[in-house]
């Protein structure tokens, strides 16, 4: 009988997540075989960038790469090289441009055989989730650990609410390309978000208040959601409302769309889009609030 020994160690590492942006559209435009080949080229380019910067690919999941490095500098340089390599790839078809989004974070993590676990992994993944196509996002905490020369290529863009974090995280963009359009709001540190802004949500007899202590709420048919929607036209994970500095943003993640009505205005339909909530109004899930008499609604009102 063979006994397998597992060794878990805790140390500071840099986790990088990068995935192919718009891969769903690639499959629609190129077909299964063409899209798969394009994604594999991107995965290969990201893997080479990892190896050249003394990192290790922990795993690939579909169109995403998770890589680990000993330092934040190595992680940042690898993420930048990933972007450069993808940017240089030839288009797989006329009018189709390959792009990735990337995020990284440096901190303590648990290394167990070939895998990595812990809050640093979760934070790095959330940074990648905040990035847009062609963008690299990290935390100000990570930037503070970089050499001065690399810090000059980082600009803070906002202080955002991140799921699982009690306080807003200062988020930075890595400027990896000369002449790139900057999405930063300011070259200086973003001001602290007002602490008294909150939003009151009512769903049937239930009421929730989002603010500094609770910056995120999930909405959908899944029982694990913060607000469970019973309408069968709603998706299991339908939407979320998150606090971003002094604003609350509704993000649609559904199949049938989210329908928002601001008090005194016409209804707005969101399809894989987001909108900033203001004033007061209501939200319908999967269909217009005007389509049935007994529609299930989420009422909202900004306070403070």
Give the residue, 245 or 124, on which the prediction is more confident: 124
Average pLDDT over residues 65-70: 96
pLDDT of residue 123: 92
122 and 264 both lie in a single domain: no
Report yes or no on 230 lying in a domain: yes
CB 63, CB 43: distance < 8 Å: yes
In this prediction the pTM is 0.58
Statement: residue 295 has pLDDT above 50? yes
Distance of alpha carbon 291 from alpha carbon 121, whole angstroms:
43
pLDDT of residue 192: 44
Q: How sure is the predictor about 262, in pLDDT bands with cuts at 50, 70 and 90? A: very high
pLDDT above 70 covers what percent of the chain? 88
Q: Is a pLDDT exceeding 80 seen at residue 184?
A: no
Residues 154 and 17 occupy one common structural domain: yes
Q: At what angle do helices 72-88 and 23-52 cross, to 10 degrees?
A: 130
- CB-count burial class (<10 Å; 0-12, 13-18, 19+) for 6: exposed
User: Does 194 score more than 60 pLDDT?
Assistant: no
Whole-number mean pLDDT of the chain? Answer: 86
Examine residue 287 and state whether it is found in any structural domain, yes or no. yes
Check residue 163 and give its pLDDT. Answer: 61
Give the range of the structural domain holding residue 211, as residue numbers without chain letter: 198-303
The residue ranking higher by pLDDT, 97 or 76, is 76
pLDDT of residue 130: 87
Give the tens place of pLDDT for each residue, 100-134.
Answer: 999 999 999 998 878 899 999 999 998 998 888 99
Instruction: Examine residue 239 and state whether it is found in any structural domain, yes or no.
Output: yes
Task: Indicate if 140 and 208 belong to the same structural domain.
Answer: no
The CATH number of the domain holding residue 268 is 2.60.200.20
Q: Domain check: are 159 and 282 in the same one? A: no
pLDDT tops 60 at residue 1: no
φ/ψ region of 245 (left if φ > 0, alpha if ψ in -120 to 50, else beta) reads left
Number of domains in the chain: 2
- Residue finishing a domain among 174, 206, 229: 174
Same domain? For 50 and 151 the reply is yes
Look at 239-243, 274-278, 288-292 and tell me which has the smallest mean pLDDT.
288-292
Distance CA 286, CA 289 (A): 9
Query: pLDDT digits over 6-64, tens only?
Result: 578 889 999 999 999 887 788 888 888 988 999 999 999 999 999 999 999 999 988 99
Residues 225 and 142 grouped into a single domain: no
Q: Is the pLDDT of residue 190 over 70?
A: no
Query: Has residue 185 been placed in a domain?
Result: no
Whether residue 58 is contained in a domain is answered as yes
Tokens standing for residue 39: 């994604």
| Cα dihedral 128, 129, 134, 136 in deg (nearest 10) | -30
- In the predicted model, is pLDDT for residue 237 greater than 90? yes
The verdict on residue 193 lying in a domain is no
Segment 183-200 shows an average pLDDT of: 53
What pLDDT, in 10s, does the model give residues 202-223? Answer: 999 999 999 887 889 999 999 9
36 and 169 assigned to the same domain: yes
253 and 219 share one domain = yes
24/138 same-domain check = yes
Specify whether the CB–CB gap between 100 and 86 falls below 8 A. yes
Which CATH number goes with the domain that contains 76? 3.30.70.1230
One domain, residues 170 and 202: no
């Amino acid at each position: 009988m063979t006994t397998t020994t597992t060794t878990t160690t805790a140390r500071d590492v840099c986790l990088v997540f990068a995935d192919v942006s718009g891969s769903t559209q690639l499959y629609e435009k190129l077909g299964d075989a063409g899209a798969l080949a394009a994604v594999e080229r991107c995965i290969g380019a990201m893997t080479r960038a990892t190896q050249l910067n003394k990192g290790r690919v922990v795993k690939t999941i579909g169109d995403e790469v998770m890589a680990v490095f000993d330092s934040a500098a190595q992680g940042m340089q690898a993420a930048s090289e990933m972007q450069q390599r993808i940017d240089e790839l030839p288009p797989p078809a006329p009018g189709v441009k390959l792009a990735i989004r990337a995020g990284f974070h440096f901190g303590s993590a648990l290394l167990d055989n070939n895998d990595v676990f812990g809050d640093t992994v979760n934070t790095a993944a959330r940074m990648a989730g905040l990035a847009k196509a062609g963008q690299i996002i990290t935390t100000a905490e990570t930037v503070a650990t970089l050499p001065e020369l690399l810090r000059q290529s980082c600009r803070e863009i906002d202080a955002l609410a991140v799921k699982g974090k009690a306080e807003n995280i200062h988020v930075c963009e890595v400027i990896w390309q000369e002449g790139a359009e900057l999405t930063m709001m300011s070259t200086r540190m973003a001001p602290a978000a007002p602490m008294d802004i909150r939003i009151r949500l009512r769903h049937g007899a239930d009421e929730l208040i989002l603010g500094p202590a609770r910056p995120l709420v999930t909405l959908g048919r899944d029982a694990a959601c913060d607000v469970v929607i019973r309408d069968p036209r709603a998706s299991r994970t339908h939407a979320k409302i998150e606090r971003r500095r002094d604003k609350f943003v509704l993000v649609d993640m559904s199949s049938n769309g989210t329908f928002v009505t601001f008090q005194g205005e016409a209804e707005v339909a969101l399809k894989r889009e987001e909108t900033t909530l203001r004033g007061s109004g209501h939200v319908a899930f999967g269909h217009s609030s005007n389509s049935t008499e007994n529609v299930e609604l989420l009422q909202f009102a900004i306070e403070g």
